[in-house]
Structure 1
């Protein structure tokens, strides 16, 4: 039997929510799991007593025989009803105030936007509504910095802010609590961004390698393969339902494109150099038949120096351009 007060057709219930620990935020499946006590407070005069006759102010009771408000968590993953834990804490004061504390793990649906990954912030909502229409629910947020710092110490996410608002849909009032979470990005910076930035800069150094070493193409192919591995790793941790393509994916694609263009430039310059060398050898051999051997040898060395000078100049220009592109891509990603 609902504990209606005299002359009232509704029961006022106050809900206190204290964010505890963030267990996980699965960006792929869009599932947010957290812990935190929900405290419900209402008045039931049938449970009141005269404290002057009994020197007792607060008692703990079994919640089975009394009326308890039921709350729906609308965006819960699975069962939307906030069910009572096996051993809820229910306390009653002498004036009939009932306080029930429910501690449990909760799973909700949280649509994430990974555009700024791994420097992103996510807003996860808890939409609460009473089951009975006569329940007048009011939600209040409380924060315990000490508890949050202990429980969130080993979490990937940090609770940045908590806000609440009322949403009205078809005459129903929904209490919406928004938790703003910020990702701790140090792990991803050290394991993904820094290695990718270094390999991106290494693309430019292929133009410093001597052409006669024969390692330019194999060097670029090795870098290209490492970028493909990183792209596959990032793809596995990105949500499939993101409304925007993450910047880190665009960054990886730009690096792959840079590697491809560097490989194309190296192959082209090597081809042009080899054609010039072959042409010079033919001309030098013709001159050798018509002139003195010492003069032909000097002419051959002079032409080789001129061609090497042209190749070094072109490689220097390509090195500067490639290095500038690599640094620019990294700056755009982290800003």
Structure 2
């Protein structure tokens, strides 16, 4: 019957072979997308899975009903069809996270059907899976994530098989090069005939975070130390310290936007920023305390202004013409005082006194407090940098060995 129908249409003239092929293959009386594609219903459908780190490259299975001779259909060796037209496995990713990827199985995908009954499809779309990340060593952390692939347990005659031509042992890193991760190892573990779990061991590449976060934070920590050398009586010291503290806050917000929400552990870079921010906050507090203690009372300022005014001479006489007269004895007395003040003094003695005053100035409690605060901030900054450096230079991952 099939050959007769074909010969009849071919005799008409130009034939659309694909249209003819579709009318024969997808005839409702002989084919249904709801029926397992096996003439012997006791057989199992093996679904070959081809997967790389970047994407799910394809699923392949055999359909016994979608077979034809290409020579009878103008050499047509394959056709494309909708996932609703052919039988598709109930393929799912069980640990996906709020994604429309494969939400309806493979019904919305396009499939390629070959003349020998081989059906292939490559699912499209973005996929996010759940991974319990350990961010304690961020940005040089190592992660172990899993992807659970499988078919629904309702149909036990669907069996997932890893594509032997694309085995995990033949995984090549340059084909799946990632901007932020380095794949250390990939393992597969068949759980049931219809489920496969892939374990991915990967290490984060910290270069991006070093150049964009760690280096600016290190520069800010140096500026925070240099703020101690700004004079205390200058108001710029407090404003400079507050500016540095706010800059640390901006960088900290940038880091928190990258990290997943996790209350179990604090990341290494988070501890690094906390130490630097605390030292910056202590520097600002120290500047406020020193500025308050170095402030002179208002009475002393008034005394300074009074001392700078020329003393009023006694026995001065004023008349309507504003004529001022001075006593000759007073003038002579003032000249003697000036000569006494201008007499040379012992230079060595004054230098000793000046050095002693400077020493006592540095030994004041306020100055000692400033020096101790400087050393504490310097030690905290050095400790934070050394700790972060040791973490980032440790390239060993226990999960990838």
Structure 1: 5+ residue stretches without partners? 21-34, 280-291
Q: Distance in 2 between matches of 1:60 and 1:198?
A: 62
Task: Name the structure 1 match of 2:156.
Answer: 133
Q: Distance in 2 between matches of 1:307 and 1:214?
A: 24
Q: Distance in 2 between matches of 1:145 and 1:116?
A: 23
User: Does residue 1:60 correspond to 2:81, yes or no?
Assistant: no
Give the alignment partner of residue 110 of structure 1, picking from 116, 130, 139: 130
Of 203-212 and 323-332, more deviation after overlay is shown by 203-212
**C-alpha spacing 1:50/1:226, structure 2 compared with 1 (3 Å):** closer
Q: Secondary structure at the residue paired with 1:105?
A: coil
Q: Do 1:73 and 1:129's aligned partners in 2 also have CA atoms closer than 8 Å? A: yes
Q: Secondary structure at the residue paired with 1:15?
A: strand
Task: Name the structure 2 match of 1:10.
Answer: 44
**C-alpha spacing 1:121/1:57, structure 2 compared with 1 (3 Å):** farther
**C-alpha spacing 1:242/1:313, structure 2 compared with 1 (3 Å):** closer
Q: Distance in 1 between matches of 2:90 and 2:254?
A: 44
Report the Cα offset of residue 66 of structure 1: 4.8
Q: Do 1:124 and 1:178's aligned partners in 2 also have CA atoms closer than 8 Å? A: yes
User: Does residue 1:187 correspond to 2:208, yes or no?
Assistant: yes
Q: Equivalent residues in 2 for 1:317-328 (5 A)? A: 318-328=373-383
**C-alpha spacing 1:161/1:230, structure 2 compared with 1 (3 Å):** same
Q: Distance in 2 between matches of 1:232 and 1:17?
A: 36
Q: Distance in 2 between matches of 1:304 and 1:274?
A: 19
Task: Name the structure 2 match of 1:224.
Answer: 245
Report the Cα offset of residue 48 of structure 1: 5.8
- RMSD across aligned positions (CA): 4.1
Structure 2: 5+ residue stretches without partners? 1-34, 301-339, 392-401
Give the alignment partner of residue 106 of structure 2, picking from 83, 100, 110: 83
Q: Distance in 1 between matches of 2:75 and 2:50?
A: 22
Of 68-77 and 240-249, more deviation after overlay is shown by 240-249
Q: Secondary structure at the residue paired with 1:88?
A: strand
**C-alpha spacing 1:217/1:181, structure 2 compared with 1 (3 Å):** same
**C-alpha spacing 1:233/1:45, structure 2 compared with 1 (3 Å):** closer
Q: Distance in 1 between matches of 2:64 and 2:185?
A: 37
Q: Do 1:40 and 1:100's aligned partners in 2 also have CA atoms closer than 8 Å? A: yes
Task: Name the structure 2 match of 1:203.
Answer: 224
Q: Equivalent residues in 2 for 1:275-290 (5 A)? A: none
Report the Cα offset of residue 7 of structure 1: 8.8
Task: Name the structure 2 match of 1:28.
Answer: none
Task: Name the structure 1 match of 2:8.
Answer: none
Task: Name the structure 2 match of 1:244.
Answer: 265
Report the Cα offset of residue 71 of structure 1: 0.9
Give the alignment partner of residue 187 of structure 2, picking from 152, 163, 169: 163
Q: Distance in 1 between matches of 2:140 and 2:263?
A: 15
Q: Distance in 2 between matches of 1:8 and 1:219?
A: 79
Higher strand share: 1
Q: Secondary structure at the residue paired with 1:61?
A: strand
The structure, 1 or 2, with the larger RCO (C-alpha pairs under 8 Å, 6+ apart) is 1
Q: Do 1:73 and 1:82's aligned partners in 2 also have CA atoms closer than 8 Å? A: no
Q: Distance in 2 between matches of 1:3 and 1:252?
A: 60
Q: Do 1:14 and 1:138's aligned partners in 2 also have CA atoms closer than 8 Å? A: yes
Q: Do 2:275 and 2:380's aligned partners in 1 also have CA atoms closer than 8 Å? A: no
Report the Cα offset of residue 326 of structure 1: 0.3
What's the CA shift string for 1:64-121, capped at 9, x where partnerless?
665332311222323544325553233344xx5x241314123233234433333334
Task: Name the structure 1 match of 2:89.
Answer: 69
